[in-house]
Amino acid sequence: MQIIGEKINGTRKRVAQAIAERDAAFIADLARRQAEAGAAWLDVNAGTMPAQEPEDLLWLINTIQGVVDTPLSLDSANPAALRVAVQAVRKTPLINSISREPERLAGILPIVAAHGCQVIALAMDGKKIPETSAQRMEVIQGIIAETRNAGVRDSHVYVDTLAMTLSTNVQSAMIAFDTMRAVRQEFPEAHLTIGLSNISFGLPARSFVNRYFLALAMQAGLDSAILDPLDREIRAAILTTQLLLGRDPHCLSFIRASRKGAFDPPTAA
């Protein structure tokens, strides 16, 4: 299970402030802690102002690379920002994301192909997210036809099946699981990912909803997720689920993590 650390996201108030004030220490700390917690990538989102985005993203990348060498997930739909960013990264990044929207594909896919990046493909067409698993598969088939055509191999594609909140559609999780299984069947080389916290928007006890959703999604084939790597309970859930799914040879990761205190009650601060 590969974790994409979500915390360096300019849509979060505190991060937006750090970007505006060029508070490198705050960003560096988020980078270091997520890397230490085992993130395979750090998602980097510079926020929602297109004119500022290339410059802010570049500052974030340089700040993060000053303290960790974890590869980055460049969370932007803006080709101009992505072009600047792919020149600045030391390790080949994950591009987050493309969809089947023709303009987005035309703007971003050439960058992915030219730099040998991995790419997250959202199961959506423009702004609307298809309701059923069959409709999402149709969109995914369309995107993978395009990535193949551009010379991007399936193993570089991370399909984000999307999880709408259960509070507006109680079938949301089941739709996501069905789509995951269908992707696994039809595109066995492709990876799967999800923005974990979407599933629980508007609900109480979100951390429970997120955690059990993650476990069930892993059984449906999920092999990466955008989440908070600093959340101990989520990390414990991942370790335990991998053990149960037979993905932890000799229970080694589970036992090692246990020795390091991963399942101990949290110590009082």
Nearer to ligand THG, 144 or 226 (CB): 226
Nearer to ligand THG, 75 or 178 (CB): 75
Residue 252 CB, nearest distance to ligand THG (Å)?
A: 30
* Closest residue by beta carbon to ligand THG: 195
Strand order in the sheet with 2-9: 191-193, 157-160, 118-122, 94-98, 72-75, 41-45, 2-9, 224-227
Nearer to ligand THG, 109 or 257 (CB): 109
Residue 192 CB, nearest distance to ligand THG (Å)?
A: 11
Residue 138 CB, nearest distance to ligand THG (Å)?
A: 19
Nearer to ligand THG, 133 or 197 (CB): 197
Residue 197 CB, nearest distance to ligand THG (Å)?
A: 4
Which residues of the chain form contacts with ligand THG (CB under 6 A)? 6, 9, 12-13, 75, 96-97, 120, 160, 195, 197-198, 226
Nearer to ligand THG, 18 or 137 (CB): 18
Residue 216 CB, nearest distance to ligand THG (Å)?
A: 17
